[in-house]
Amino acid sequence: MAAAVVSRGFGLGRPGWKAKRDVVRTVFLARIKIITRYKGAIFMEALLPIVFAAMPVLLGTTVAGANAGAVFEERVGTSNFRLYMLIGAATFTVVSLMLWLIGYWVRREQETGTLESLYLAPARRIYVLAGVTSYAFVRAMIAFLIAILLGSVVFQVNPFEQGMGLAIVFLAIGFLPLWGLAFMFGAFIMKIKEADAVIQVLQWVLSFLMGVFYPLTLLPVYLQTVVKLFPPTVMTDGVRASLLGINFLYNSAFASLAVLFAMALVVPLLGYKVFESTERRLRRKEGVGHY
Amino acid sequence: MDTIIRVQDLSKTFTTKERKKGQKKRKRVVEALKDVNLEVFAGENFGLLGPNGAGKTTLIKCLTTLLLPTTGTAWVNGYNIEKEEDMVRASLGCMLMGDRGLYWKLTGRENLDYFGALYHVPRDVRAKRIEYLIDLLKLEEFAHRTVETYSSGQKMLLAFAKALVNDAPILFFDEPTVTMDVPTARELRRIVRALNLEEGKTIVYTTHLMHEAEELCARVAIIDRGEIIALGTPNELKASLVREDVVKMEGLLPASVVGKIRAIPGVREVSVQAAPDGRASLAVTCANSRHLLPRIIEAATGNGASIEYIKPQDVTLEDVFLTKTGRSLAEDTREVVKEVARGGGRG
């Protein structure tokens, strides 16, 4: 292995790619092992989007009655408001889970002392974070797929009629800026040493910014400009527009994908830089493990 | 001897906020370390001794890269703690937080594998190393169980194994025996000694237990209020004290014995406590009890005394600390250097 071996001992100060890959793999597997030891956790979180989507579906049906589909089509471009809500709730769950898992991971590690143990080891944080975010990605995808499949039965809708491939592309590219946001969120939690309250507030702010249950065209123009720059909004809109055949946020699938791709290049780097500088500031002060 | 750890003018200052009911919020500046200079030699078992708040853990956290110093710097295994953090970390095995720092939902074996990967120990080497450590520390009985089912002592043993997983040349142990029962603590000290003597590991061992420091460490630094106030072998430190020893003696002691003992050169004072049954208890204060003890015994027995109990009181590292600071090791010595009132006093 092309790496500097410490004068004695097995550890490597400058590891090769195999050792780096081993860190990502080990962290990922450890997280999976831990969650599977909490029985039923993954399945239960997949039920949330169905419950979450059921509320506006029932409200819409109550308000508009038999005309619900027609009224919705007038404003949104599709009468399939059930699938619209289901996709919105499922992608929101993905975004929420990603941020929640990273933020809560940082806080939990701080409380249990494992964060200091991580900082004692020579493994670079980027590889540890890659392991954790990969786990968050897998967990979020499982929740998304179960929610979509189970939800399509509950709401009697077919999400596979059109644009599934394009929706997956939006989802896959959308995960990258989401990682960046998760790093920033993790840095913020590490600094303020509180996760629950922030996550509670953020859930609602996020669902509003992402237009989970409504078209963004209903927002004032200045707010539309703001939310268009928010990566989860572009991702949700892309997935929904692909599956329902409605207008994209940036007018075409190509334009929306291009914007999301640009975000995928910039936001993770920015997020990691924010994480690194927060971590360094904390080490200048009381230390990362201070809780 | 080669220097493996060098600390140069290292200082660390913390700012904390204090909120007392009915008082203004106060910003407290705490000087945890003040211009510390220190050298630890390769293959040495080095002790850091001091009361709570003295700065031991802060110094270790700086050396292990968990904290960045406010001023000054240090080199560990030849690597600078601020510029070559990864190499410093790869040179160390640490047990700093007792049984914290373990994943409770993972088994002991899984925890060791996890941290082995973070230290970039190759997988095949890691597997063998883990089995070796399980055998060395007798973890076999519980290594397959999740950590949440462990007793405090078992968690401490696993944390100790975690510090050894990368077989690092330098080991930091911060009060490792603190929650262990007596036999386990004794066994752990035996292993620490073997790691030092048989495997040549450099060990930095912090403790507030004098007997541990005396038993394990070749050299000891006594730290107080963020400063190294004494440094040397335990015997050098004890010998450096100019203090009076006390020899306690009990038995049937005729009155003439007191005068004879008082006449011995070097004896400063003899106090007597007589009991109703004719027995007496003497406290002989002298310059050097080890040196004078044979003459004291001779003076007593040669004048008709029957000694039932005699014990010179030894100098301990606690005495060294007491003499140098006027305080006991049990005291908390965090030093606030500045207090600044802030806010509107809402309590």
The CATH number covering residue B306 comes to 3.30.70.260
* Residues B179, B250 within the same domain: no
Identify the weakest region by mean pLDDT among A138-152, B270-284, B331-345. Answer: B331-345
Task: Mark yes or no for CB contact B168/A3 under 8 Å.
Answer: no
Helix H segments across chain B?
56-63, 85-90, 108-118, 123-136, 152-164, 182-197, 210-216, 234-239, 255-262, 289-301, 317-325
Task: Mark yes or no for CB contact B89/A112 under 8 Å.
Answer: no
User: Is residue B132 assigned to a domain?
Assistant: no
* Residues B180, B217 within the same domain: yes
* Residues B172, B308 within the same domain: no
Task: Return d(Cα A284, Cα A281) in angstroms, integer.
Answer: 5
Task: Mark yes or no for CB contact B120/A22 under 8 Å.
Answer: yes
Q: How confident is the model at residue B37 (pLDDT cuts 50, 70, 90)?
A: very high
pLDDT of residue B255: 83
Q: Which residues from A are below 8 Å from B43, CB to CB? A: none
Q: Which residues from B are below 8 Å from A114, CB to CB? A: 100-103
CA distance A42 to chain B (A): 16
What would the mean pLDDT of B287-315 be, rounded to a whole number?
A: 85
B159 close to B98: Cβ distance less than 8 angstroms: yes
Mutate to test the interface with A, among B65, B76, B120 (most CBs of A within 10 A): B120
Residue A285 CB neighbour total at 10 angstroms: 16
pLDDT of residue B338: 54
Percent of chain B residues past pLDDT 90, beyond the cut = 45
**Closest residue of chain B to A20, computed from CA coordinates:** B120
Q: How confident is the model at residue B347 (pLDDT cuts 50, 70, 90)?
A: very low
Residue B176 has pLDDT above 60, yes or no: yes
* Residues B205, B265 within the same domain: no
Task: Return d(Cα B90, Cα A271) in angstroms, integer.
Answer: 26
Q: Which value does ipTM take for this structure?
A: 0.82
Task: Return d(Cα B51, Cα B325) in angstroms, integer.
Answer: 11
Domain count of the fold of chain B:
2
> Which residues, numbered 122 to 161 in chain B, qualify as contacts with chain A under a Cβ-Cβ cut-off of 8 Å?
122-123, 125-126, 129, 146
Q: Which residues from B are below 8 Å from A34, CB to CB? A: 103, 105-106
User: Is residue B347 assigned to a domain?
Assistant: no
A170 close to A232: Cβ distance less than 8 angstroms: no
* Residues B85, B177 within the same domain: yes
Minimum-distance CB partner of A9 among B65, B96, B166: B166
* Residues B191, B87 within the same domain: yes
pLDDT of residue B242: 56
> Which residues, numbered 15 to 34 in chain B, qualify as contacts with chain A under a Cβ-Cβ cut-off of 8 Å?
15-16
pLDDT of residue B311: 83
Residue range(s) defining the domain that contains residue B15: 3-91+168-239
Q: How confident is the model at residue B343 (pLDDT cuts 50, 70, 90)?
A: very low
* Residues B191, B82 within the same domain: yes
* Residue whose entry in the numeric block shows the structure tokens 């030092």: B196
CA distance B154 to chain A (A): 17
When comparing pLDDT for B238 and A18, which is higher? A18
pLDDT of residue A194: 74
- Buried b / exposed e across B293-319, counting CB within 10 Å, b at 16+? bebbbebbeebebebeebebeebbbbb
pLDDT of residue A7: 46
* Residues B190, B228 within the same domain: yes
* Residues B190, B298 within the same domain: no
pTM (2 d.p.): 0.80
User: Is residue B263 assigned to a domain?
Assistant: yes
pLDDT of residue A113: 80
User: Is residue B303 assigned to a domain?
Assistant: yes
User: Is residue B216 assigned to a domain?
Assistant: yes
What would the mean pLDDT of B254-277 be, rounded to a whole number?
A: 84
User: Is residue B124 assigned to a domain?
Assistant: no
* Residues B304, B172 within the same domain: no
Residue ranges covered by each domain of chain A:
16-282
Tokens of B185: 């603590």
User: Is residue B41 assigned to a domain?
Assistant: yes
**Angle at the Cα of B58 (from B56 to B62), degrees rounded to 5?**
120
Q: Which of A153, A195, A134, A135 is nearest to A47 (CA)?
A: A153
Residue B27 has pLDDT above 90, yes or no: no
List, for residues B89-147, the tens digit of each pLDDT value. 999 999 987 778 899 999 999 999 999 999 999 999 999 999 999 999 999 999 999 99
pLDDT of residue B106: 95
* Residues B35, B57 within the same domain: yes
Return per-residue pLDDT of chain A as tens, 291 residues. 333 444 455 556 677 888 899 999 999 999 999 988 888 887 888 888 888 889 988 998 888 888 888 988 988 889 999 999 999 999 998 888 888 888 778 878 888 888 888 889 999 888 998 899 889 889 888 888 999 999 999 999 998 888 989 999 999 999 999 889 888 888 888 887 777 788 778 888 888 889 999 999 889 999 999 999 999 999 999 999 999 999 999 999 999 999 999 999 999 999 989 988 888 888 777 666 555
Minimum-distance CB partner of B120 among A11, A27, A285: A11
Q: Which of B301, B130, B103, B90 is nearest to A29 (CA)?
A: B103
Q: Which residues from A are below 8 Å from B155, CB to CB? A: none
Task: Return d(Cα B128, Cα A112) in angstroms, integer.
Answer: 28
Q: Which residues from B are below 8 Å from A109, CB to CB? A: none
* Residue whose entry in the numeric block shows the structure tokens 């956790």: A41
* Residues B257, B293 within the same domain: yes
Task: Mark yes or no for CB contact A285/B118 under 8 Å.
Answer: no
pLDDT of residue B184: 85
Contact status of B109 with chain A (Cβ, < 8 Å): no
Task: Mark yes or no for CB contact B117/A22 under 8 Å.
Answer: yes
Mutate to test the interface with A, among B33, B119, B158, B162 (most CBs of A within 10 A): B119
Minimum-distance CB partner of A122 among B61, B77, B119: B119
Domain with residue B84: its CATH number is: 3.40.50.300
Minimum-distance CB partner of B100 among A23, A112, A283: A112
What would the mean pLDDT of B284-300 be, rounded to a whole number?
A: 85
> Which residues, numbered 28 to 87 in chain B, qualify as contacts with chain A under a Cβ-Cβ cut-off of 8 Å?
61, 64-68, 70, 77, 79, 84, 86-87
User: Is residue B337 assigned to a domain?
Assistant: no
Q: Which residues from A are below 8 Å from B70, CB to CB? A: 284
Minimum-distance CB partner of A34 among B94, B105, B117: B105
